[in-house]
Chain A
């Protein structure tokens, strides 16, 4: 099978009438890990949520193609079934639904009726992935994200990633709120997914995470679009020098979107 491609073309996204993403373009191939960095308020999380079909965001222009299929015409669940995954910055809590019941429903949703995963196989897989993420077994019987700490929620997002094995994952600030040990565990989980069948878009403020997951490409986002791209070394430079040099280089006064740019 040919390598998968996720292609974002000329994407424009509005929230409550104000445009957050403006002419965003990016192509990711199976096997690649891309990182999007940028200061707060530049549209990174909006991009992630909009691609997955978040109900609050309006896509006014552009396309997102997954192996030639138009993702934007799909319902949220169809996007997931097509192979997209979003590890959310603020995952919802669902009371009364155990992690394991939820996970099994999600796995079975992708399978044909009559071809559901066997309970034994499911338990073995979940046990193995939880071990890999150093999660206590009790998490499988806890209600989905209810009462989880910030770090536990992030691990649980990665657990879902490992269980569902999507073609493309978007990790939205998966590193925020993690201590260094947790960061390593989560990074190992993502690195285990690395294969020609898996592409990944990592959204982060900090270069820290990229010490553990080496990206193939790094993009800097400002004013709702990519303003600079490079390799892993770009992230290193951002860590050392911040974002000001980029703003200077490109003549950007205010990197945020949704605010009036200052008169030059």
Chain B
């Protein structure tokens, strides 16, 4: 193999990179601190999945900036297919290899004081606001090496800010396309919803290259203020060569709410962490994710809801379909801290095995330090129920068609929740392609 494992990303590189991007001082400092930490920290240790041999270090960090396009029609076809053409209000930013490629944002957003820009622009034009949330309460740079690398090498992402009492009706959509086969994406998403505001955000990650190796290191921070409601939809579909670390974090104040709907369809090895802190009294979270594992890929999914607030409510639903020799670990964690009385934590993890050689592990974990709470979990790993097959086939459906219906139904909890029809339809197609 010709690839040399020469690690070229040091303090000097990071400093230069930050300068070239015209970043404010504070962000450069964050990066420098992070690159120093990256040397000392270890990789995360996801339970039951060994990631030590995974590629997190071989990639190209910078790509040519090829400029923006002005028309949807000029976007790559795979991107166009994710965009609703119905002519309704559109708020969309498309990225290629981390850089903004197309932006269409309705003027109403600006009138409402909503910020919806790429993170590079945000660092220049909304520096103070960005600083307030960047690597905030939801996530820490020193958790492990991947978070440190993330901050040091951050090269893409979006910043969303919704002021107090503002309701954003139409969904905010982003598409992150990785086109350069070796380019790594260090994508950072911040969603800050101030008190009593409301928004829906939907992101798609896609890549074109199937074989060459690279890295996606993604961190999302979502802040729901008092009484705020954030619906966050995500569909990840990186091709096989990309090793993914994705951490989506939420922090919810009093009576706020975050709803996650994640379609985790990567073809390569993936570590996914979806953690929500229910900090305020009466806060709530609903975390749904679905996945399909195939080939020889190995994936580790953690969905974690941490209750601090009284009367907080956390719901976790994870459905996975496993075929070929794929292997996945699904950990659901409901943690209720002392004092979070009257809270409720419920979780369901279900894994459908389509192959003898696949591996699926569902582990519901309840960690409860408070007496006055309710909690429950259900987990199952198994094959398609032969009685369901008999039932559907007894109505004339072929074996394939019956299986198809059952699998689509199994993954429907996330598909149905996505707010943009085109994305829903593409996800349905991806499911179809992956299963057959």
| A binding-site residues for B, Cβ under 8 Å | 52-55, 75-77, 79-81, 85-86, 88, 91-92, 94-97, 101-102, 105-106, 109-110, 143-144, 160, 164
Known: A94-B405, A105-B405. A79 touches B410 (CB 8 A): no
- Are A77 and B413 neighbours in the complex by a CB distance under 8 Å? no
Among residues of B, the one whose C-beta sits closest to the C-beta of A54 is B390
Stretch among B65-73, B207-215, B242-250, B393-401 lining the A interface: B393-401
Known: A81-B396, A109-B395, A164-B395. A94 touches B406 (CB 8 A): yes
Q: Which residues of A contact B85 (CB under 8 A)?
A: none
- Are A77 and B406 neighbours in the complex by a CB distance under 8 Å? no
- Are B396 and A77 neighbours in the complex by a CB distance under 8 Å? yes
Whether B411 is near chain A, meaning CB under 8 Å from some CB there, is yes
- Are A97 and B409 neighbours in the complex by a CB distance under 8 Å? yes
- Are B394 and A80 neighbours in the complex by a CB distance under 8 Å? yes
Q: Which residues of B contact A144 (CB under 8 A)?
A: 409
Known: A95-B409, A95-B410, A97-B409. A109 touches B401 (CB 8 A): yes
CA distance A97 to B385 in the complex (A): 15
In the complex, what's the smallest C-beta–C-beta distance from A101 to chain B, in angstroms? 8
In the complex, what's the smallest C-beta–C-beta distance from B229 to chain A, in angstroms? 25
In the complex, what's the smallest C-beta–C-beta distance from A104 to chain B, in angstroms? 11
CA distance A88 to B387 in the complex (A): 11
Count of A-B contacts judged by CB separation below 8 Å: 82
Among residues of A, the one whose C-beta sits closest to the C-beta of B412 is A96
- Are B413 and A76 neighbours in the complex by a CB distance under 8 Å? no
Residues of B355-412 at the interface with A, using a CB-CB cut-off of 8 Å, are 385-399, 401-402, 405-406, 408-412
- Are A164 and B408 neighbours in the complex by a CB distance under 8 Å? no
Q: Which residues of A contact B409 (CB under 8 A)?
A: 94-97, 143-144
Q: Which residues of A contact B411 (CB under 8 A)?
A: 96
Known: A92-B387, A102-B405. A76 touches B393 (CB 8 A): yes
Known: A94-B405, A95-B412. A55 touches B394 (CB 8 A): no
Among residues of B, the one whose C-beta sits closest to the C-beta of A105 is B397
Q: Which residues of B contact A102 (CB under 8 A)?
A: 392, 395, 405
- Are A106 and B397 neighbours in the complex by a CB distance under 8 Å? yes
CA distance A53 to B401 in the complex (A): 18
Beyond contacts A96-B410, A96-B413: 5 other A-B pairs, Cβ-Cβ < 8 A, are A55-B386, A75-B399, A80-B393, A97-B405, A97-B408
Q: Which residues of A contact B388 (CB under 8 A)?
A: 92, 94
Closest 6 CB pairs of A and B: A96-B409, A96-B412, A80-B396, A97-B409, A109-B396, A76-B393
Among residues of A, the one whose C-beta sits closest to the C-beta of B413 is A96
In the complex, what's the smallest C-beta–C-beta distance from A117 to chain B, in angstroms? 13
Q: Which residues of B contact A94 (CB under 8 A)?
A: 388, 391-392, 405-406, 409
Q: Which residues of A contact B394 (CB under 8 A)?
A: 52-53, 76-77, 79-80, 85-86, 88
Task: Give the contacting residue for B391; candidates A81, A85, A92, A105; CB below 8 A.
Answer: A92
Q: Which residues of B contact A88 (CB under 8 A)?
A: 391, 394
CA distance A105 to B398 in the complex (A): 10
Q: Which residues of B contact A95 (CB under 8 A)?
A: 409-410, 412
Q: Which of B392, B401, B410 has the most CB of A within 10 A?
A: B392
Q: Which of B389, B390, B396, B410 has the most CB of A within 10 A?
A: B396
Q: Which residues of A contact B391 (CB under 8 A)?
A: 88, 91-92, 94
CA distance A125 to B133 in the complex (A): 56
Q: Which residues of B contact A85 (CB under 8 A)?
A: 394-395
- Are A77 and B393 neighbours in the complex by a CB distance under 8 Å? yes
In the complex, what's the smallest C-beta–C-beta distance from A102 to chain B, in angstroms? 7
CA distance A52 to B391 in the complex (A): 10
Q: List 17 A-B contacts (CB under 8 A).
A: A52-B390, A54-B390, A77-B393, A77-B397, A80-B393, A80-B396, A91-B391, A92-B387, A92-B392, A96-B409, A96-B413, A97-B406, A102-B392, A102-B395, A106-B397, A109-B396, A160-B395
CA distance A75 to B395 in the complex (A): 12
Among residues of B, the one whose C-beta sits closest to the C-beta of A49 is B390
Task: Give the contacting residue for A96; candidates B386, B387, B408; CB below 8 A.
Answer: B408
Q: Which residues of A contact B399 (CB under 8 A)?
A: 75, 77
Q: Which residues of B contact A106 (CB under 8 A)?
A: 392, 395-397
- Are A77 and B412 neighbours in the complex by a CB distance under 8 Å? no
CA distance A94 to B405 in the complex (A): 9
